[in-house]
Structure 1
Amino acid sequence: MGSTLKALLAPHADDLPAVGAPGRPWLSHGGLRRLAGAVAADLRAAGIGALDRVAIVLPNGPEMATAFVTIAQAAVTAPLNPGYRQEEFEFYLDDLKARALVIPQAYDGPALAAAEKLGIAVLRLVSGPELPAGRFSLAASGAAPSPAAAAEPGPDDIALILHTSGTTSRPKIVPLTQANVAASAEHIRETLALTPVDRCLNVMPLFHIHGLIAAVAASLSAGASIWCAPGFDALKFFGWMKDAEPSWYTAVPTMHQAILTRAERNREIIDATPLRFLRSSSASLPAQVMTALAETFGAPVVEAYGMTEAAHQMACNPLPPRAQKPGSVGVAAGPLVRIAHEVENRLITSTGEVVISGPNVTPGYEGNPDANARSFFMADGQRWFRTGDQGAFDGDGYLSLTGRLKEIINRGGEKISPLEVDGVLLDHPAVAQVVTFAMPHAKLGEEVAAAVVLREGISATEREIRDFAAGRMADFKVPRKVIILDEIPKGATGKMQRIGLAEKLGLADA
């Protein structure tokens, strides 16, 4: 196994394509290795050492992909969402103890203001449309500091730092070592049987673990190529597909659903660009959507289960000839995956909390001993991480999730899985998207509510949807409130967020 990112990317032929983008020449694997050497030299000249933290604020695209891959071979990367406000950048840059910030050459936004306020060094990324996709140089502003030592990061040094989403509490810092990142990239490469002939069309945001590891690092570790779109746009997706000629893409369920709405009018491109498989992760893929994707693209759909603390992948539906089970996140795909008692530190064989152990799992949250004490425990000679997800294995070893433990709705002592309600409502012919969530109730504590988006050209009332659900599930599970929306609010990475949705939709005082 390549125990560092540099070792992982070393063995591939120089002339193989590595990174592409709309209207740009390809950057080869040899070119990517040369770029990594130049970036390391730029960082050392700017006084940035192997253990120093470099925040990256760049738009989605090839430079974001290569900035992560190259800077992580020489220092600690901390990609941040370019959409943050100045106050958020100040919080994250300070919390990360960032030594430098990488921004586009002409950038003059809130990240720069935050860095200047905190006295953090600024490195401008210089590139151009005539250069191969992803090629750049780094230009330091201000007086040149003393150069840093040329030491390279080792397997146990941190490669990537991300924050958890913090939907219910202060975001936690998740450090991922070189060995964590390399192990996860290799797990995904093996799960998807990636080879140098594969090409991933990336539409995932590259400040998120899903895009960074599943799309970028796993592809490059196989000597394969990654074609970087400038973000996700359902209107442009099939044009990109035609240009990129990918063998696969990976996305969150909301993206897949948006792609499906435009698929039939792009049938020629789908037929001319056969995919080997499609991948979904980062949120539960409704069984109905998985089936529709497989039928539309004529390719298997592999749903994977990942999270930041695992450097992304934990389980995945296998490729043929093994079955892809709609509604399941598949079999263990890298780390050991087991079920633990939700309160006691022991493994069980029934429904409970999903726990993992393996080389891709973070050593622990930074500076948060309380969270580490709650999240890690020893059992059966292994150190296990509690995922916060509830689930169970079937007889074939496929894992099905029943929801986030914090998202399970407790209606007067009756526990309801939002995912189960989602699945029933999605069977209604008028419902295109749904997210079930808890809303406050004075006597019961919580009540079931759902937000839905209707299919184009099909109408339905709240009463019709509730009546449909009432004929298919126990009364206590039927949403007492169904809100019909044009669009369901989403987080920065495109995921629908159940926690806090009642407040967002004005139901917190219901």
Structure 2
Amino acid sequence: MTNILSPIEGVSYPPPERATASIANGSWIASTVGNALRATAKRCADRPAFISDERTLSFRELDETTERFAAAMLNLGLVTGDRAIFQLGTNIETAIVLLACFKAGIVPVCSLPQHREVEIGQLARQSGARGYFVQADFNSFDLIGFAAGMVEKHATLKHLVVVRGAPAGAPSMEALIEGMPLAAARERLSHLPLGSEDVLSFQLSGGTTGVPKIIPRFHAEYLGHSAGWMRRYRITAESRVIWSLPLLHNAGQLYALIPTATFGVTTVLMPKVDIRRMLELIEQHRVTHALSIGPIAPQLLAYTEIARHDLSSLQLFATMSRSDNLEQHLGLPCSNLYGITEGLLLGSPADAPAFARHHTQGASGCPQDEIRLLVAESEAPSAPGEMGEMCFRGPSSLTGFFDNPEANAKAFTSDGFYRTGDMMTAHVVDGLTCYTFEGRLRDNINRGGEKIGCEEVEGFISQHPAVADAKLIAMPDPFFGEKACAYVVPRPGMVVPDVKALGAFLTGLGLAKYKCPERVEVVDSYPLTRVGKVDKPALKKLIADQLAAEAAGSTS
């Protein structure tokens, strides 16, 4: 018997036998996130839940505030099972809105404040979202006005709520909370049809086409997934984590939000990456664990004043790569990690062998995860020691993209292993199989943790009147890991726009700014493979060699 009380059409739910087995073996936790937070608040009411430079929120305050806001949203007209677009930064208010939605059974569509007409329009249409949360003070861009315009364009969007300040007449989170008594809120929420196997959130896949694919995550499996990560990194209720990247990301919720709500971990939140301030906060709040999904580690390596900070509380710093260099720089244990929103996390604890920590992305924290390396574009296993496509199946693995049978038909092997498109090699370290990331099979760019689908951006660039054809490729960058470089074939007699002009053109079409190319190279034609396809690896080597030559020239 399943515990799905508010089913959503278009969601591929894990089969009942998988749910039953996952609960029995402990890889899922038979609760909702809301009930888990209520239990945590009873255990450690006065302990800090979230800390920021603006304020500290105890578990009692977190529980009570989210109760009131959850009930207020239901009174506003949202109902359990509704979806809501999110354009919020990393702050305590975002944590409140997310956890209140989890309590009410309102499903966050985990978009970003940097998204614009293209992305938000696609997500509104695909998800059928009725709610919309925006942050008034995220940056100088008028998110409130933008959101109001999107509400006018998309008939499903009915309820716009402004967070962290709102103009007169606009519904605000603060006003909704203020108008909802706690006792009335608890009574309102006590009757909700919400089960442990209901949908928790709609996360987004970093695909290659730019059309966002929606990944449903579920209460019980997300709780278990986060618990597995905590076990892998030796996180306990006494630990303290620091987080400065988007809280809406899968990583932000699994690493920073759910451990706090469910297990009593204290999380220090930063609205943006600021290395000096991060180190000061680690020292001030005795942070035990820090993570870098994106540009943090390279900026740390460039920071020359490490010695002035007391990092003695820090037990582990986990990063996507270069952990050996980071460990030498910081003078404390560091390890590489890997995570994919479709449901696999790899990592190594501080006491793992140096080879596992520094030369692999580690192993899964869930014993029930099954991992295979397959020859690309096949179902044949790669030879021992050879690189293969990482494919996995387990308690938290994707069951199916939301309402997308075409994508689902291509995403899995015939026996249900999800194809990541990431190439790995396997290494047995002290009897444990760990995996080393070698590159991507699919055509996308990872700019500091934000995925850019090359095919999508190429289509937009090609709309420029001076462009005959465009190819987008990843170029190496010391801080972001990768940035986008556009190789453009011009139309005869026309001048290709520079980076600034092309960026203005693309954002004018509604594309998010972070997806715009940060270098433009004009060519007459592209290198081709033996079968006549554009040779993108050759373009990547070309720009990497060019950047290296430019760097050498600037230092000579």
TM-score range, shorter chain: 0.7 to 0.9
Q: Secondary structure at the match of 1:393?
A: strand
Whole-angstrom CA distance in 1 between matches of 2:52 and 2:224: 27
Cα displacement (A) at 1:19: 0.8
TM-score (norm 1): 0.73
Residue 83 of structure 2 corresponds to residue 53 of structure 1 = yes
Comparing 228-237 with 181-190, which one deviates more in the overlay? 228-237
Residue 299 of structure 2 corresponds to residue 268 of structure 1 = no
- Report the equivalent of 2:402: 366
Residue 192 of structure 2 corresponds to residue 151 of structure 1 = yes
Counterpart pick for 2:252 among 199, 206, 211? 211
- Report the equivalent of 2:152: 116
Q: Secondary structure at the match of 1:163?
A: strand
Residue 179 of structure 2 corresponds to residue 172 of structure 1 = no
Q: Using a 3 Å threshold, how does the CA distance of structure 1 residues 88 and 387 change in structure 2: closer, same or farther?
A: closer
Deviations 1:329-383 (A, max 9, x none): 111222322223433445555432211112212221112212112112354xxx3
C-alpha contact (below 8 Å) 2:324/2:358 kept by paired residues:
yes
TM alignment of 1:79-228, pairs within 5 A: 79-104=110-135, 108-119=144-155, 120-125=157-162, 137=174, 139=176, 150-228=191-269
Deviations 1:306-328 (A, max 9, x none): 11111xx4221233054443231
C-alpha contact (below 8 Å) 2:29/2:221 kept by paired residues:
no
Q: Using a 3 Å threshold, how does the CA distance of structure 1 residues 109 and 484 change in structure 2: closer, same or farther?
A: farther
More helix by share: 2
Comparing 29-38 with 299-308, which one deviates more in the overlay? 29-38
Q: Secondary structure at the match of 2:275?
A: coil
Whole-angstrom CA distance in 2 between matches of 1:223 and 1:148: 22
Whole-angstrom CA distance in 1 between matches of 2:266 and 2:371: 30
Q: Secondary structure at the match of 2:410?
A: helix
RMSD, aligned α-carbons? 3.5
Letter in 2 for 1:299: L
C-alpha contact (below 8 Å) 1:105/1:124 kept by paired residues:
no
Whole-angstrom CA distance in 1 between matches of 2:550 and 2:242: 28
C-alpha contact (below 8 Å) 2:336/2:362 kept by paired residues:
yes
- Report the equivalent of 1:473: none
TM alignment of 1:6-17, pairs within 5 A: 6-9=34-37, 10-11=39-40, 12-17=43-48
Cα displacement (A) at 1:203: 0.8
Q: Using a 3 Å threshold, how does the CA distance of structure 1 residues 276 and 433 change in structure 2: closer, same or farther?
A: same
Comparing 8-17 with 343-352, which one deviates more in the overlay? 343-352
- Report the equivalent of 1:412: none
TM alignment of 1:21-60, pairs within 5 A: 21-24=52-55, 26-60=56-90
Q: Using a 3 Å threshold, how does the CA distance of structure 1 residues 116 and 233 change in structure 2: closer, same or farther?
A: farther
- Work out which structure has the larger RCO, using CA pairs closer than 8 Å and 6 or more positions apart in sequence: 2
Letter in 2 for 1:338: R
Counterpart pick for 1:483 among 544, 547, 554? 547
Comparing 97-106 with 156-165, which one deviates more in the overlay? 97-106
Counterpart pick for 2:326 among 293, 308, 324? 293
Letter in 1 for 2:359: G
Deviations 1:111-162 (A, max 9, x none): 232123324223435558xxxxxx964639xxxxxx9994242232211112
Whole-angstrom CA distance in 1 between matches of 2:74 and 2:335: 41
Whole-angstrom CA distance in 2 between matches of 1:206 and 1:332: 22
C-alpha contact (below 8 Å) 1:164/1:308 kept by paired residues:
yes
Residue 438 of structure 2 corresponds to residue 352 of structure 1 = no
Q: Using a 3 Å threshold, how does the CA distance of structure 1 residues 121 and 178 change in structure 2: closer, same or farther?
A: same
Cα displacement (A) at 1:305: 1.2
C-alpha contact (below 8 Å) 1:157/1:178 kept by paired residues:
yes
Cα displacement (A) at 1:450: 8.1
Deviations 1:412-444 (A, max 9, x none): xxxxxx99x98xxx9xxxx88865999741466
Whole-angstrom CA distance in 2 between matches of 1:149 and 1:123: 25
Counterpart pick for 2:420 among 387, 399, 412? 387
TM-score (norm 2): 0.67
Q: Using a 3 Å threshold, how does the CA distance of structure 1 residues 91 and 138 change in structure 2: closer, same or farther?
A: farther
Cα displacement (A) at 1:45: 0.6
Cα displacement (A) at 1:207: 2.5
Whole-angstrom CA distance in 1 between matches of 2:483 and 2:53: 38
Whole-angstrom CA distance in 2 between matches of 1:86 and 1:209: 22
TM alignment of 1:328-343, pairs within 5 A: 328-334=360-366, 335-343=369-377
Deviations 1:387-425 (A, max 9, x none): 1112221133111122111259xxxxxxxxx99x98xxx
- Report the equivalent of 1:499: none
Q: Using a 3 Å threshold, how does the CA distance of structure 1 residues 93 and 486 change in structure 2: closer, same or farther?
A: farther
- Report the equivalent of 1:462: none
Q: After the TM superposition, which segments of 4 or more aligned residues of structure 1 sit over 6 Å from their partners?
A: 431-434, 436-439, 477-480
Q: Secondary structure at the match of 1:319?
A: coil
Q: Using a 3 Å threshold, how does the CA distance of structure 1 residues 233 and 388 change in structure 2: closer, same or farther?
A: same
C-alpha contact (below 8 Å) 2:291/2:317 kept by paired residues:
yes
Cα displacement (A) at 1:73: 2.5
Q: Secondary structure at the match of 2:225?
A: helix
C-alpha contact (below 8 Å) 1:73/1:159 kept by paired residues:
no
C-alpha contact (below 8 Å) 2:133/2:163 kept by paired residues:
no
Counterpart pick for 2:351 among 274, 296, 320? 320
Q: Using a 3 Å threshold, how does the CA distance of structure 1 residues 336 and 39 change in structure 2: closer, same or farther?
A: farther
C-alpha contact (below 8 Å) 1:314/1:337 kept by paired residues:
no
Q: Secondary structure at the match of 1:212?
A: helix
Cα displacement (A) at 1:48: 1.7
Whole-angstrom CA distance in 1 between matches of 2:358 and 2:327: 11
C-alpha contact (below 8 Å) 1:447/1:480 kept by paired residues:
no
Whole-angstrom CA distance in 2 between matches of 1:210 and 1:221: 16
C-alpha contact (below 8 Å) 1:21/1:62 kept by paired residues:
yes
Q: Using a 3 Å threshold, how does the CA distance of structure 1 residues 2 and 137 change in structure 2: closer, same or farther?
A: farther
Letter in 2 for 1:365: F
- Report the equivalent of 1:2: 29
Gaps of 5+ in 2: 1-27, 138-142, 166-171, 178-187, 445-472, 488-525, 552-556
Q: Using a 3 Å threshold, how does the CA distance of structure 1 residues 333 and 93 change in structure 2: closer, same or farther?
A: same
Counterpart pick for 1:68 among 86, 93, 98? 98
Deviations 1:86-106 (A, max 9, x none): 343233222221111122467
Whole-angstrom CA distance in 1 between matches of 2:122 and 2:542: 41
Q: Using a 3 Å threshold, how does the CA distance of structure 1 residues 213 and 152 change in structure 2: closer, same or farther?
A: farther
Whole-angstrom CA distance in 2 between matches of 1:46 and 1:322: 53
